[in-house]
A and B are shown apart, each in its own frame.
Chain A
Amino acid sequence: MAYVAIADRDHHLHDPQTFITKYIYSQDHKVIAIQYGLTAIFVGLIAMALSVLMRLQLGFPETFSVITPEEYYQYVTLHGMIMVIYLLTALFLGGFGNYLIPLMCGSRDMVFPFMNMLSFWVYLLSVLILLSSFFVPGGPTGAGWTLYPPQAIAPGTPGIGAGIVLMLLSLAVFIVAFTMGGLNYVTTVLQARCKGMTLMRMPLSIWGIFVATILGLLAFPALLVAAIMMLLDQAIGTSFFLPSMLTMGEESVQSGGSPILFQHLFWFFGHPEVYIVALPAFGMVSDVLATHARKNIFGYRMMVWAIVAIGALSFIVWAHHMYVSGMNPYFGFFFATTTLIIAVPTALKVYNWVLTLWKGDLHLTVPMLFAIGFIFTFTHGGLTGLFLGNVTVDLPLSDTYFVVGHFHMVMGVSPVLVLFAAIYHWYPKMTGRMYNEMLGRWHFWLTLLGTYSIYLPMHYLGFLGVPRRYYANGVTDFMPDSVQNANAGITIAALVVAATTLIFVFNMIWSLFRGEKADGNPWGGTTLEWQTPQTPPVHGNWGDKLPEVHRWAYDFSVPGEKQDFIPQTEPPHEGVVAGREHGVHH
């Protein structure tokens, strides 16, 4: 069969010879994954530092004179863009996608290793372009992370010169990098699975990454189109997005463009982007929960279907980000309906996670703690999403801190908790060592409680009508003094969480050298990556022979078995007929 030929094709193995080809220009998916991951975490820490600066300004206004209003908006913009695209997208797909797809599917590498390597280097280039905007005249763009025109390129906004140009260029370059990587992920999942690994035997991590990548491939072009067009508007004075307007008392050169068009393009990308981040998180958290609860995932087939359904629906909800831009009421009605429908498969997943825990043999390891924490934060963030999905509720809340609270709960904290869970879960496999358990627990509890202290109060601020995007609130009639106290408290919590993240970084680096040696399968995992002959897996992953898969990924605590897990590679036991056993239900 052709699939064996591809998965086992030897001349694709490009064995690395020197230090450079092994660790720098490597075509090995595991090295590329780590390169992606480290770069993403590095820019993520920068974005976190920016958020700390923002919080200092909001919590203690008029204390930090070094933060000007212009800089504040630049921090907002870069914080948002880096976190959503350069950290979350890159780490979930470039990092974990790269690491897990070949290992969990039982292949030796990605199908196009050279393109895979190129993907990382182009990604790095996009990051460098982005960071270089801090050092150009006028600084980075301060247009807000959605970069809405006309203000993104109209006088009065910080960074309308080199700043916005570099931002758009960097996005275009990132999309090229993502496309190269994404074609690899999809094709590898489709073509290079080992013998016996049918689609419905794939672990949910792979399902999440797979569907998210398809979303990315279809949605990122919209951002590319928007970026190219705005680049032309800015650089050579076309008028795609610029209407005629008075800026600084003068009539603008450009006219006739449509700012709303940009919003449609941006959100046609932007909403699927939410699920490009969320679906891999859904998948990976499912695997972490099942493994540490020693129980099969509840409703595997429904979980797969929910991932696919959410992916499909995510393309027809984008205008719920634009209710305040004004639209035909029927249009709003349609998008409110689709938005609420998407809650059905999502809620189904939450129920299934909880039911996976039900009567499980819970091992409260650090990854498990993070995974359970995710169920809480995601449910809270998701419920407030239902508020905002309704047009009439969204209109008064849209420009308040309620949105900031909702968004960070569902798209900030939740995926990040899964990332932490995933990093702790696969750390022994990636490094061959265990992390420090005590530091990990501190990290979890401080992060969970800290982020709740940050974002829960924001919902109340939102109900009071405290506007988001403001550099300072000043004195108003509708904001009581307690608003300022809440802001100060939020800032203190943010400082604690930021410091806690440094504990995590320390733990990862320290454990790399001083951590206890881990064996190949410390959690009793069933999926293929835990069955590699070496830990960490070496080049080519599987030694001489590719694995063969005989069962699904969730044979935990099967009655009558000696161990509480059966690896996917384990053949059916004697007496059990191989193949389908019709009419047998567990």
Chain B
Amino acid sequence: MAENSNGMNRRKFLTVLGVTGGGAAALSGCSSDSVEKLIPYLVPPENQVPGVATWYASTCRECPAGCGLHVRVREGRAVKVEGNPDHPVNAGRLCARGQASLQGLYNPDRVRQPLSRTADGKFEPIAWEDAIAQVAERLGGSPSDGVRFLTGHEAGSFDRLVDEWLAAFGSRGRVAFEPLGYEALRHANRTVFGIDGLARHDFAAADYVLSFGADFLDTWLSPVEHARGFGARHGYRDGHMGRYVHVEPRLSMTAMSADEWVAPRPGSEGLLALSVAHVIVRDGLASTPADVHRVRPLLDRHVPETVAAETGVPADTVARLAREFTAGPSVALAGGMGIQHAAAHVTAAAVNLLNYVAGNVGRTVRFEGTPTGRPAPYSRLVELTSDMKGGAVRALFMHGANPVHGTPPGLGFRDAMQAVPFKVSFARFMDETAQACDLVLPDHDPLEQWNDFETRPGVHALQQPVMQPVFDTRATGDVLLQVTARVGGPASARLTVTSFKDYLQRSWAALQARVGDRRPFATFWTEALQRGGVWREPSTQRVTLAASAGSLEGSSTWRLPEGRLALIAYPSSALYDGRGANRPWLQELPDPVTKTTWTTWVEIHPETGAELGIAEGDVVEIASDMATIRAQAYLYPGLRRDTVAVPMGQGHTAFGRYAEGRGANVLHLLDAEPTAFGGVATYTGVTLRATGEHAPLPKTEGKPRQMGRGIAQMVTLEELARGEGHGEHGAHAAPVPERIEEILDHWQEGQDEATKYGAYEGEHPRWGMAVDLSRCTGCSACVTACYAENNIATVGPESVRRGREMSWLRIERYFEGGENGEPFEARVLPMLCQQCGSAPCETVCPVFAAYHTPDGLNGQIYNRCVGTRYCSNNCPYKVRYFNWFDYQEPADPTFAWPEPLHWLLNPDVTVRSKGVMEKCTFCVQRIRDKQNQAKLEDRDRLADGEVLTACQQTCPSDAIVFGDLNDPNSRVSALARETRGYHALGELNTRPAVTYLKKVRNLVEG
């Protein structure tokens, strides 16, 4: 399609409209048949009005959590994804990775057609029919176990289809490998409870959260669901809030929300959990189930006093934790990949026991039956690799997995692939694994395909194509069926369906019978499609201790080798295991903790850094027994001195322009040998060496501390209960004499009077926002949502180094304490345009590009802006962003949306050109949209909560509330009046429309 707007004329415009209209016509029939004719808009397709968005329900497949999606489609193109409000997992919210799924769909580095490797090792396009014939020929008719199929985590019809398809060829060689497979948790659930599966944690029911390294707001299991429950229970409300204690050598993003951080010696978390359990049982703090006697001997060995030497946590802290843990409904969590050392299964088992003795199992920790589709542990992948090396594998199929990048190189997966004569990848991107394959048969993007996903027992979610495929790709399910049809014979006899959609509908017909729905299938199907799936309340399994519960195998601690530093390789909050690395939004999303983008860093405690002569930005060599990698140093006080941490996800050698050649792959440092529980140990001992090279880190943070300026404010629960901590405590925290107070009041009155001049006539709304810092976790989903909604350009690492990132909304992260023995704390605060009532930016603009709208917004007229940048100088919040380059010009090297990435641009929002200032508009396009709608419906005013800004809409913990401040009954007015409310830099008299509610820390014992 011609996309060059410069060359747009009437005829071309109509052509484009016709083509997109055709796509839309196909969509309204929910058909994936390709449209070959250009259909002009003479007869508009039903439900497709130009300029009016259509929403489709689907399921997010960016991680195994499986959140529900609503995809906004305009003129046949998906332009925004949002959470499905009806979905039981995410209830309308999404994380940053989910928001960025559009950049997978429109990624310019997608494999655009089937590719075949030629003799000289290059890839050449090949026709689908030829590719399928090639696969069919290779497989032949004879059944053989030499066919292997490696997939990612699948749970639903595709999962079954792959198994059946393999069976049709006489193979049972299926491996479902998920890099973050939580093998330790699964292992512990098997040993302690005899259950093969993962538990569901009910944060909304837990007053007390004790996390042993679980980054449950970050990547652990189902972060969006956790954040929702955690925000509801831990967030301050009417004098109450939960308490959260985090146990880990590192203060992760999740731990930034903790009320207390306990940093035990790395590898000893399990002992700590066992000693807490010991105290509970010893002191009879909870009514423990009867079968606890089976683990008494184990618990009795872990007396806090003796364990203290090992963990470095004093015995009275353990006793206190035990008392707090049993004071009310609580939940203990065991780390995912964050603390997955060789003894991680012991930690997980110990946490299971802790939950069990406290009576949490069955209440806040629930097992809800066996889910379909379980990922195999890493050890299965090791077996597969040795099979491959041994020549037992004749043909290898791979879908949704990138083991070459996602496993330690010691495994030798790439070499093993050489030994396989026929390798087929269904990868959507040319990643490291696909590069080593003979055939690449690109799958549809999850947003282009039919599928389903059983997120957890009882939650059957559907995926439906929301638009025509962007490229010449095919759904892998269809390809598999076409292969069997081509092979014919017994193979095709076992799989009689012709398309994957039919296969899917058959399994949904069976599901309909299972759920006891007696309506016609078409009704059931349509309704499921509209809702996004079918969900039932699952039954909670009764859980008792297994026979093996009392005998934890293996060493119960992992010991750091002498003279080494403990390395934590943790999943990146934005890039996950590395699959997000080709999304520029995620690459440019500042890490919630270090605020670094586009590269790999190593977090080092400042004192350790000083000892080793390492400063921020220094290039450091990190050496383990396996390998050496290089990363830039970030000095982080939120670590133990004997620990360093490196995020996963970078160091790609393939995977497209945004991923390639950035940072290093931390997995290189890890031992490929599977641990006792069958996973990869993400902990290892390393040494650091400064290389003498230095480069500024591409980070968005200026100064890490707020210099007592009271920008991100905090109050303790105790202070609130005492009636303290109210009002504004900005830079002028000192008590003010009464006389001065009077003068200030008088001055304020004068100011109030003065601001009336020049105000608009008539009644208008005053749009405002309240941000509850006791709920905000810093997860940064709002940041990516803002990028998606407002067509914000990504600028790349060089520009980030120069502070030129364009994020209208940023999460500021400030460190507190951590020096002179004070406890270390990190606070976060979403900083966006405060839409000041008395805005410093407006008066200084010589051309009125910055002006005040009647509804109180600080408008910015892009096409009037000359670019003096005075507004930005005068903005105390620094929330104005300048277009230093032309990010919208395809001919420029700085073009931010290479074809077809620009398809995701929101048609309701201008794409800004070089030399103009831009800023947060409170999603003015959404406000106007709802106002127009209200006008059509003859309503004068909008209902409270009718307008949702993009950041508010996606916030997993519901920290952001938007509405009309002039309406005293609106939610935002009520929050703005709260005693915790303050304005950032309020003493400047800018009269912000954003009220922050102070973070509350629950330091109260018990």
Asked if A and B bind, the verdict is no
Chain B interface residues toward A at CB < 8 A: none
Chain A interface residues toward B at CB < 8 A: none
